[in-house]
Structure 1
Amino acid sequence: MAALVEQLTPPAVRISGLTRGFGERVVLDGIDLDIPPGQFVALLGHSGSGKSTLLRAIADLDHEITGSGELQAPQRVSVVFQDSRLLPWRRVLDNVLLGVQGKDPAERGRAALAEVGLAGREQAWPSELSGGEQQRAALARSLVREPELLLADEPFGALDALTRIKMHTLLRELWERHRPSVLLVTHDVDEAIVLADRVLVLDEGRFSLDLTIDLDHPRSYRDPRLAEFREQLLAALGVAEHAEPRTAHNAG
């Protein structure tokens, strides 16, 4: 019955034959993709493979690229970037509420900041926050809009390893609480495996692998059951696992 309900439920994101390019260079070559409501998806691929191009196309942020195909996405979409993109001349709460409308926006903003562990920092300036705290504020800014779809473009790439692990836990907890669909762009295979329930590999404009991670949460990087998933993803990326040993620096 659950499978039948899932089949009858319209996807949060539906892409059919999406082609995108810059001039004569084709970056996305006839992409097809359905993301069900509430699914957490990670997107892997080499630099220049089109990951950010796909994310920006879904977010309707890039109007200079050319292409064709069909793309459907929810009305309420939020985007988190690698840079928190907080306005330095606005206090944290004002940054979170930028463009927010509706009932009691200030109360909603304070609640969102409390969810990400920034209660009491509403009147701080962005420069007074650490890198991790700035990304927490960026997550709060996304959550206050109650998105049906959260697009995250390497949101933890600029953070140190320990802060990234903490942010992974926070993002997963927030997803479990709010249940938006999530598309996370990342270069980190382990980050994808630990966070997502489905991992896509983009290569030469097409998906070369669509992998379901059928393990319960929370997951640990040390879990030996992740090794098989890691091997499949590294193979799809053309990387031999022994060529890049895990260290504290790249632990994600």
Structure 2
Amino acid sequence: MATLTEQLTRTSVRVDKLTRRYGDRIILDGIDLEIPSGQFVALLGRSGSGKSTLLRALAGLDHGVKGSGRLSVPARVSVAFQDSRLLPWKRVADNVILGAAGSRDAKARTNTTLAEVGLAGRGHDWPNQLSGGEQQRAALARALVNDPELLLADEPFGALDALTRIKMHELLRDLVQRHRPTVLLVTHDVDEAIVLADRVVVLDQGVISEDITIDLPHPRPYGDQHLADYRIHLLRALGVGPGAKADE
């Protein structure tokens, strides 16, 4: 097995001069981005900056959208969305096993992954028997059950209450440590980005305006004073607070 240092020397995601348009509006304007294997990247930006458009392009979910440029992603890619998107007519285990389609040991993988997310013994439940946080745990299990090389997460905790969100942050970091995927997390939450990610990229009007490394060990509890400088810097980049970049 490769060490983490060796993993981080390989490129998992490469984006070259990526442009995406909706009608006459340019959403992504010549984006260049490389993400080493095993790195956890948070993607910040104001509404309309192109975050979800970039994620959908990496996931191969933007068919028919006008654009140009080149993308390179690993073979195994999973996506987690803001809502769990569990199929209500399938039990929890049957939802999770969809992520392991084609695997000979799909059932065993499903049971193991449900246990990893704290849902051992809940596989026979229906999705509506789970709380919002539990539904997102099941969605994470489905995304991770086939050991993806790249996990794309589009604001997966945005609809959760504050306490549940913090618990989900702890769970996600634990799962990432176990499975070692490359992660691209789209979020509006600066604190979420700096608590979870190794690196934070800021999109502004379709271009990358900031790309910084969070050079602090994990775990990083909320309120840690060592996070303050990163928070101030990123809030300014997003147009919040003294010294913020003004809109043109």
- Same structural fold, with TM-score higher than 0.5 when normalized by the shorter chain: yes
1:38 aligns with 2:38: yes
Amino acid at match of 1:123: H
Q: 1:109 aligns to what SS in structure 2?
A: helix
State the partner residue of 1:248. none
CA distance in 1, matches of 2:94, 2:222: 36
Q: Report the TM-score, using the length of structure 1 for normalisation.
A: 0.92
Compute the displacement of 1:91 (Å). 0.2
Amino acid at match of 1:26: I
State the partner residue of 2:15. 15
State the partner residue of 2:92. 92
State the partner residue of 1:225. 226
Q: 2:98 aligns to what SS in structure 1?
A: coil
Q: 2:235 aligns to what SS in structure 1?
A: helix
Amino acid at match of 2:162: A
**What is the RMSD computed on CA atoms of the aligned residues?**
1.8
CA distance in 2, matches of 1:5, 1:134: 35
CA distance in 1, matches of 2:165, 2:137: 11
Compute the displacement of 1:5 (Å). 5.8
Percent identity between the two aligned chains: 69
Q: 2:225 aligns to what SS in structure 1?
A: coil
Q: 2:111–2:120: 8 Å Cα contact kept in structure 1?
A: yes
| Paired residues for 1:22-171 under 5 Å | 22-98=22-98, 100-171=101-172
Q: Describe the shift of the 1:216–1:66 C-alpha distance in structure 2 as closer, same or farther (beyond 3 A).
A: same
State the partner residue of 1:246. none
Compute the displacement of 1:10 (Å). 3.5
Amino acid at match of 2:151: L
**1:104-129 CA deviation, whole Å, 9 max, x = no partner?**
21111010100000000010000000
Task: Identify the range of structure 1 (174-183 vs 93-102) with the bigger mean alpha-carbon deviation.
Answer: 93-102
CA distance in 2, matches of 1:11, 1:155: 25
CA distance in 2, matches of 1:219, 1:127: 33
Q: 2:58–2:73: 8 Å Cα contact kept in structure 1?
A: yes
CA distance in 1, matches of 2:118, 2:7: 34
Runs of at least 4 residues of structure 1 off by over 4 A?
4-7
Q: 1:112 aligns to what SS in structure 2?
A: helix
CA distance in 2, matches of 1:208, 1:23: 24
Compute the displacement of 1:64 (Å). 2.5
CA distance in 2, matches of 1:240, 1:138: 35
Q: 2:7–2:38: 8 Å Cα contact kept in structure 1?
A: no
CA distance in 1, matches of 2:102, 2:93: 14
1:178 aligns with 2:186: no
State the partner residue of 2:195. 194
**How many pairs are equivalent?**
240
Q: Describe the shift of the 1:10–1:122 C-alpha distance in structure 2 as closer, same or farther (beyond 3 A).
A: same
Compute the displacement of 1:137 (Å). 0.2
Q: Report the TM-score, using the length of structure 2 for normalisation.
A: 0.93
Please list every run of 5 or more consecutive structure 1 residues that lacks an aligned counterpart in the other structure.
244-252
CA distance in 1, matches of 2:7, 2:157: 31
CA distance in 2, matches of 1:197, 1:177: 16
Q: 1:97 aligns to what SS in structure 2?
A: helix
**1:149-193 CA deviation, whole Å, 9 max, x = no partner?**
000000000000000000000000000111100000000000000
Please list every run of 5 or more consecutive structure 2 residues that lacks an aligned counterpart in the other structure.
none
Task: Identify the range of structure 1 (61-70 vs 184-193) with the bigger mean alpha-carbon deviation.
Answer: 61-70
CA distance in 1, matches of 2:53, 2:223: 32
Q: 2:7–2:37: 8 Å Cα contact kept in structure 1?
A: no
